């Protein structure tokens, strides 16, 4: 049988990256091999995202470009999966005539039936069934992530929160958690194959296990913390309404849990938070941040913001800027509000003009730049334990002042800041001397989005308590 190749384009969040692995495993099971070269593929899958209008446009523009490939190779099968597929369903077949398959967020397991059907009958297939009954997330397919230092592990899927701007509950279905034993098995397997850091993934990890009566998220963290050989644990995303003392304690007591939390606030105005259906107030958010900073000094806090939500006044926006001044986030993601189909805010009046949204976004990002710089600058002169992820794309090949070429390495602090450093080993040797190791690095320079350091000491595989190795030099 001739070799058959598949190519996957993954757009959007880490959940999609994880899903793409699952898709890939099903395709391998059908006798396909993965390729990074689009032109040689017999099957192209686009795993799409619809969280904001831009992500959806990206998917359709990629799909449009596949028309030429299909003309050159009429046997090519093109499939669209993920959130746009779930949202648009059959409409995609009408909009993009060269597509063969539309499969929703809960149809990945059925690919093993859908693809052979298309192969044999050359028909067009749509499978976007979304049950209200939660569908348990499948375990990660067996694979050996060669050389992978850090990876994601889905602990739950879907969302029950129904923020009024958000499409996720409509395209991903209701919240459902994986059994902790399955999660532990998966992480143990990953650690055996060399992974040192996992990021536990869920739309709202704070409500992990609640519905099913499994263990709580802090209990899960304690269990994962006990896995020998695992160095670091991260998690995302936490909803502020469910974030509280027990998770704050877990951050403090579990030495492998990193000093970083992503706690999306979206707005600093109570009026807007209420219209967003976020179920917390500005005061409550700030109280939780205060408790967090009190219990875990040095923790890095990042957030998400939406500017220009329908009805957002200058006064509301100023409340957001005021909240930023109080919290001083280490970093943030900010988005201009975009209408999403099925999300209730589509119907809200007083939409904000694109020009005002853009201006507010710029103001917010400029303010944040100061805080990010300040936080990064504060680390200069300190020694930080870095988990090295590998060599950096940018390499140094020598200069007049520094004739020896050097390998540039990259890793992260426990607080999730990227640190790059050189080491004068022989780049030709190809020896991977740092990947997966904790390297104590003296921070020498702070940039807008990364730090520059100098290695001081390489720690053994089992690090000590988090932050303990960190000291001001």
**Footprint on this chain of ligand 5AD (rule: CB under 6 A):** 51-52, 165-166, 264, 266, 304, 306, 335, 337-338, 340
Which of 159, 200, 221, 224 is close enough to bind ligand SF4 by CB under 6 A?
Answer: 159
Partner touching 337 among ligand 5AD, ligand SF4, none, CB below 5 to 8 Å by kind = ligand 5AD
* Nearer Cβ to ligand SF4 (126/306): 306
Helix, strand, coil shares of the chain, percent, nearest 5, are 35, 25, 40
393's CB contacts (< 8 A; 6+ apart) are: none
Residue 171's region, left for phi above 0, alpha for psi from -120 to 50, else beta, is alpha
Kindly give the pairing relationship between strand 150-154 and strand 101-103. unpaired
- Shortest CA distance to 110 belongs to which of 132, 129, 133, 84? 129
Q: Which residue has the tokens 């001397």?
A: 433
Partner touching 178 among ligand SF4, ligand 5AD, none, CB below 5 to 8 Å by kind = none
Q: How many CB atoms lie within 10 A of CB 298?
A: 11
Partner touching 159 among ligand SF4, ligand 5AD, none, CB below 5 to 8 Å by kind = ligand SF4
Q: How far apart are CA 13 and CA 1, in angstroms?
A: 36
Which of 79, 82, 169, 463 is close enough to bind ligand SF4 by CB under 6 A?
Answer: 169
- Minimal distance, residue 328 CB to ligand SF4, in Å: 23
Binding region for ligand SF4 (CB under 6 A) out of 29-37, 165-173, 378-386, 450-458: 165-173
Verify binding: residue 239, ligand SF4, rule CB under 6 A.
yes
Q: Which residue has the tokens 């704070």?
A: 206
- Minimal distance, residue 407 CB to ligand SF4, in Å: 40
Asked if 466 contacts 231 with a C-beta cutoff of 8 angstroms, the reply is: no
Helices (H) and strands (E) in the chain, counts: 13, 20
Which of 83, 153, 166, 296 is close enough to bind ligand SF4 by CB under 6 A?
Answer: 166
* Nearer Cβ to ligand 5AD (183/276): 276
Count interface residues toward ligand SF4 (CB under 6 A): 10
Partner touching 306 among ligand 5AD, ligand SF4, none, CB below 5 to 8 Å by kind = ligand 5AD
* Nearer Cβ to ligand SF4 (22/266): 266
- Minimal distance, residue 65 CB to ligand SF4, in Å: 29
Residue 244's region, left for phi above 0, alpha for psi from -120 to 50, else beta, is beta
Q: How far apart are CA 318 and CA 271, in angstroms?
A: 12
Q: How far apart are CA 458 and CA 462, in angstroms?
A: 11
Which of 29, 31, 113, 162 is close enough to bind ligand SF4 by CB under 6 A?
Answer: 162
Verify binding: residue 343, ligand SF4, rule CB under 6 A.
no
Binding site for ligand SF4 (CB under 6 A): 159, 161-163, 166, 168-169, 203-204, 239
């Amino acid at each position: 049988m001739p070799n058959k190749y598949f190519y996957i384009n993954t757009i959007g969040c880490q959940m999609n990256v994880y899903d793409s692995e699952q898709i890939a495993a099903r395709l391998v099971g059908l006798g396909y091999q993965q390729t990074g070269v689009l032109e040689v593929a017999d099957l192209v899958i686009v795993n799409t995202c619809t969280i904001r209008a831009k992500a959806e446009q990206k998917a359709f523009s990629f799909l449009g470009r596949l028309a030429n490939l299909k003309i050159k190779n009429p046997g090519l099968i093109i499939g669209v999966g993920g959130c746009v597929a779930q949202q648009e369903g059959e409409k995609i077949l009408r909009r993009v005539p060269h597509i063969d398959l539309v499969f929703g967020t809960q149809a990945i397991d059925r690919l093993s039936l859908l693809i052979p059907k298309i192969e044999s009958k050359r028909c067009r297939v749509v499978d976007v069934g979304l049950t209200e009954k939660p569908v348990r997330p499948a375990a990660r397919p067996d694979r050996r992530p060669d050389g992978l230092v850090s990876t994601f592990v889905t602990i739950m899927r879907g969302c029950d929160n129904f923020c009024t701007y958000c499409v996720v509950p409509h395209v991903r279905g209701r919240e459902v958690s994986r059994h902790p034993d399955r999660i532990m098995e998966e992480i143990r397997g990953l650690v055996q194959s060399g992974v040192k850091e996992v990021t536990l993934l869920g739309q709202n990890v704070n409500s992990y296990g609640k519905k099913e009566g499994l263990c709580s998220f802090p209990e899960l963290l304690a269990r994962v913390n006990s896995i020998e050989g695992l160095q670091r644990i991260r998690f995302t995303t936490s909803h502020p309404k469910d974030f509280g003392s027990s998770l704050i304690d877990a951050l403090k007591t579990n030495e492998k849990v990193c000093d970083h939390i992503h706690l999306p606030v979206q707005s600093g105005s109570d009026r807007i938070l209420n219209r967003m259906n976020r179920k917390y107030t500005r005061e409550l958010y700030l109280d939780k941040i205060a408790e967090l900073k009190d219990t875990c000094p040095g923790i890095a806090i990042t957030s998400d913001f939406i500017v220009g939500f329908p009805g957002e006044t200058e006064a509301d926006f100023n409340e957001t800027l005021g909240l930023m001044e109080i919290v001083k986030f280490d970093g943030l993601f900010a988005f201009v509000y975009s209408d999403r189909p099925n999300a209730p805010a589509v119907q809200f009046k007083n939409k904000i003009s694109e020009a005002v949204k853009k201006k507010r976004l710029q103001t917010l990002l400029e303010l944040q730049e100061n805080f990010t710089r300040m936080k990064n600058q504060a680390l200069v002169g300190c020694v930080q334990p870095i988990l090295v992820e590998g060599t950096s794309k940018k390499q140094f090949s020598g200069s007049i002042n520094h004739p020896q070429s050097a390998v540039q390495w990259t890793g992260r602090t426990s607080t999730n800041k990227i640190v790059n450093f050189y080491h004068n080993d022989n780049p030709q040797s190809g020896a991977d001397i740092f990947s997966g190791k904790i390297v104590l690095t003296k921070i020498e320079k702070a940039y807008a989005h990364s730090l520059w350091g100098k290695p001081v000491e390489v720690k053994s595989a089992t690090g000590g308590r988090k932050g303990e190795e960190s000291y001001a030099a």
